[in-house]
Amino acid sequence: MDTLVLEAASREKNVRADSLRRLKRIPAIVYGSGIDPVMVSLAYQTFRHAYIQAGETGIIDLDVDSGKKKLKVLVHDLQHDPVSHEISHIDFLNVRMDQKITTSIPVEVTGVAPAVKDLAGVLTVSTPSIRVRCLPGDLVKSFVIDVSVLKTFHDSIHVRDLKVPPSIQLLESNELTVATVLPPRKEEEVAAPAAAGTEAAAGGAAPAAAGTEAAAGGAAPAAAGTAASPAASGKAGGKK
């Protein structure tokens, strides 16, 4: 992979991160074997364009303070603002080109799965990145998988199916599933919860109806009692 050059400026610990963000700069830290942590900041748009090209597996030449310090780094972690979703902090990993590192390479999907197109299945990438060990210069941007081989719901792509350069050591099991297509949910499975809710609502109305009947039944003895009251009988007898 081509190496990118990215300019950075050192920053003091007492400089607030939010003040840098207001200036459209991203606070960052560089750490790794053989160096003390280095605190820097980078222009937001400059980093964003570089990251689009490098991703997390591309070597970046970090030029700190116009040549005062030059470091070869990988983007190790990005933090995002929970509201704006903009990048709020970067962790860089300092690397030596002659020392192997352990990292992850993302999986990139290409093609169309017949099980999705013809059978209305759902493509599932269960392993979106693969752990590897290699020299930094041997990293590739991604492992490309062609999902056109997924013709039925029984087909899967495993780690053993990946095209891996001999210079890269995989740290995952060969039997680990990378991608498969799941069958669509049956209509009756989707309808069942709704039907159950309707039945529960109907069942809840039954006691109320029974209660109404009980109330009506309770009124009948009261009416009978009124007809048989002594006062009513006395008035009737007096008229005779």
For 28-45, give one letter per residue: b (16+ CB within 10 A) or e: bebebeeeeebbbbbbbe
Taking residues 165-178, report their average pLDDT. Answer: 97
198 has pLDDT over 80: no
> If pLDDT is split at 50, 70 and 90, which confidence band does 195 have?
low
Q: What is the pLDDT of residues 25-58, one digit of tens each?
A: 999 999 997 899 999 999 999 999 999 999 999 9
Number of CB atoms found within 10 A of residue 192's CB? 11
Smallest CA-to-CA distance from 49 within 4, 110, 108, 80 is with 4
Residues 139 and 165 occupy one common structural domain: yes
115 vs 222: CA distance, rounded Å: 72
pLDDT of residue 132: 98
Q: The CATH number of the domain where 15 resides is what?
A: 2.40.240.10
Smallest CA-to-CA distance from 61 within 101, 8, 11 is with 8
pLDDT of residue 228: 42
pLDDT of residue 34: 83
pLDDT of residue 196: 54
> If pLDDT is split at 50, 70 and 90, which confidence band does 207 have?
very low
Residues 106 and 85 occupy one common structural domain: no
Residues 73 and 116 occupy one common structural domain: no
pLDDT of residue 140: 94
How many structural domains does the chain have?
A: 2
3-class secondary structure, 127:
coil
The answer to whether 32 touches 93, Cβ cutoff 8 Å, is yes
Q: What is the pLDDT of residues 66-92, one digit of tens each?
A: 989 999 999 999 999 999 999 999 999
Residues 89 and 101 occupy one common structural domain: no
Residues 76 and 6 occupy one common structural domain: yes
121: which 2 tokens? 């299945």
For the chain, percent of residues with pLDDT exceeding 70: 77
**Residue 172 belongs to domain spanning:** 97-185
pLDDT of residue 225: 41
Is position 235 within any domain?
no
Residues 141 and 172 occupy one common structural domain: yes
Mean model confidence pLDDT for the chain: 84
pLDDT of residue 230: 41
